[in-house]
């Protein structure tokens, strides 16, 4: 007897295959319909800048723009404040060291000078009076010493005579004792006068020395005040050209205020600003070349300023040999600053794509030139013409070098 079998419900193995095929078809359709439209950018080939990657010598230099400046600038600050009474030299004039540029007046300083002169005169009078007093005491002391010395000799002689007579019992003991006491008193008085004279001499010596020191100090102070008076004449600190002068007749100038500068024109330097990208590679004593009218002039980097402003830092370069005959302050020159030795490398012409990608990727054209694919790369050094390619490109390949901002997130560029 036949038994009817019921169909099993559920998914069979063949159904899984059908489902996988369906998912694959849907995914492929999605990629064809949507993915390509998101990652592809279409543009005209004539609107793009295309360059070829080449193998060649990479010159490790950068081109910078610099301005000619005097080798040094000396600033003029007012030693003394005052009102401008006379202006003898104008801006731009050639000056010699010591030339008077401005004349100032300062009434307070004049009063200080008069007070110092008066104090000095009083001190000098005091010194004279003290010297006269000590001289008088010295003379009187020596007179007293001479008198007591003479009295001592006379009384000593009298005492010795009386002592001999007393020993022979020719005079009384009272006469002998009186002559002895007079002699001893005269001896003590002479010692006192001698001590007083020595003390007066010592006092005179120390007192006059102190007074002389005070007088010399006051004379020095007065000399310094006179020097301050001379500083009211603002003089050129060096030979050169008066760069600027911020002073007019009648203007009040404060002490220490900057009023001008003198440019030393015995030599020149080049002041330049460099992108902060190179700050770790730019060092003192690097060499550079300035080319003018087919002649090259060697330079040396003398100073690197540490401060970075607006993404740039400043350097000073000086000529190591000849310089252009027509060089003038303020002229602008393009200079090649050598950062390292030349070497063989893959060379990628510079372009504005670098601002869009940071040098991390680039669009590389295919063999037929109809499309370009995004490719990661690694860039090393750069100069004014080329980037050094370390990874990601081969010699002979062509790349798009213009700005990528309009390409959005595209992974492929289709060229019409």
pLDDT digits (tens, 9 = 90+) for 221-237: 777 777 888 888 899 98
pLDDT at 100 over 60: yes
pLDDT in tens, 347-399: 999 898 998 898 899 999 998 888 999 999 999 888 878 899 999 999 999 99
At 99, the pLDDT band (50, 70, 90 cuts) reads very high
pLDDT at 31 over 80: no
Coil vs helix vs strand at 391: strand
pLDDT at 103 over 60: yes
Q: Which tokens hold the place of 257?
A: 């205020």
Average pLDDT score over residue span 339-352: 88
Identify the pLDDT of residue 6.
Answer: 52
pLDDT at 179 over 50: yes
Q: Where are the domains of the chain?
A: 38-59+343-415, 61-69+262-338, 72-104+232-253, 108-224
pLDDT at 121 over 90: no
- 61-69+262-338: which CATH architecture? Beta Barrel (2.40)
Identify the pLDDT of residue 12.
Answer: 58
Q: Which CATH code fits 38-59+343-415?
A: 2.40.420.20
Listed in sequence order, the residues at least 6 apart from 140 whose beta carbon sits closer than 8 Å to its beta carbon are none
pLDDT at 75 over 80: yes
- Answer for the pair 91, 245: CB distance below 8 angstroms, yes or no: yes
pLDDT at 124 over 90: no
- With CA atoms as reference, report the closest residue to 262 among 296, 299, 236, 229: 236
- Answer for the pair 275, 383: CB distance below 8 angstroms, yes or no: no
The topology under which CATH files domain 72-104+232-253 is: OB fold (Dihydrolipoamide Acetyltransferase, E2P) (2.40.50)
Coil vs helix vs strand at 316: strand
The beta strands (E) that lie in 328-410 are given as 332-338, 343-349, 361-365, 371-376, 378-382, 386-391, 398-400
pLDDT in tens, 194-206: 888 888 888 877 7
């Amino acid at each position: 007897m036949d038994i009817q079998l019921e169909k099993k419900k559920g998914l069979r193995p063949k159904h899984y295959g059908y489902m996988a095929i369906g998912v694959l078809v849907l995914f492929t359709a999605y990629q064809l319909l949507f993915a390509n439209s998101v990652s592809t950018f279409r543009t005209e080939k004539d609107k793009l800048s295309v360059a070829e990657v080449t193998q060649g010598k990479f010159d490790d230099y950068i081109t910078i723009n610099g301005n000619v400046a005097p080798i040094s600038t000396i600033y003029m600050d007012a030693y003394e404040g005052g009102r401008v009474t006379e202006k003898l030299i104008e801006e731009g004039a050639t000056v010699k060291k010591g030339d008077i540029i401005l004349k100032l007046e300062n009434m307070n300083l004049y009063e200080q000078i008069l007070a110092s002169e008066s104090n000095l005169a009083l001190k000098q009078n005091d010194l004279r009076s003290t010297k006269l007093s000590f001289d008088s005491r010295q003379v009187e002391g020596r007179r007293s010493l001479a008198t007591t010395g003479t009295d001592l000799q006379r009384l000593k002689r009298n005492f010795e005579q009386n002592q001999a007579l007393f020993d022979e019992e020719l005079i009384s003991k009272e006469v002998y004792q009186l002559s002895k006491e007079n002699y001893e008193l005269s001896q003590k008085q002479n010692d006192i006068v001698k001590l007083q004279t020595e003390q007066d001499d010592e006092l005179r010596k120390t007192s006059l020395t102190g007074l002389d020191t005070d007088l010399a100090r006051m004379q020095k102070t007065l000399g310094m005040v006179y020097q301050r008076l001379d500083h009211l004449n603002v003089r050129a600190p060096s030979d050169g050209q008066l760069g600027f002068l911020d002073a007019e007749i009648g203007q009040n100038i404060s002490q220490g205020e900057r009023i001008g500068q003198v440019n030393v024109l015995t030599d020149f330097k080049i002041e330049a600003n460099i992108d902060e990208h190179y700050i770790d590679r730019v060092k003192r004593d690097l060499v550079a070349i300035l080319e003018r009218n087919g002649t090259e002039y060697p330079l040396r980097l003398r100073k690197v300023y540490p401060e970075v402003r607006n993404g740039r830092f400043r350097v000073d370069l000086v000529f190591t040999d000849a310089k252009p005959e027509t060089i003038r302050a303020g002229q602008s020159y393009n200079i090649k600053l050598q950062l390292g030795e030349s070497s063989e490398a893959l060379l990628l012409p510079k372009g504005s794509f670098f601002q869009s990608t940071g040098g991390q990727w680039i669009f590389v054209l295919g063999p037929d030139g109809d499309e370009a694919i995004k490719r990661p790369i690694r860039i090393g050094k750069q100069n004014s013409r080329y980037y050094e390619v370390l990874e990601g490109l081969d010699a002979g390949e062509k790349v798009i070098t213009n700005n990528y901002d309009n390409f959005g997130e595209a992974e492929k560029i289709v060229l019409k």
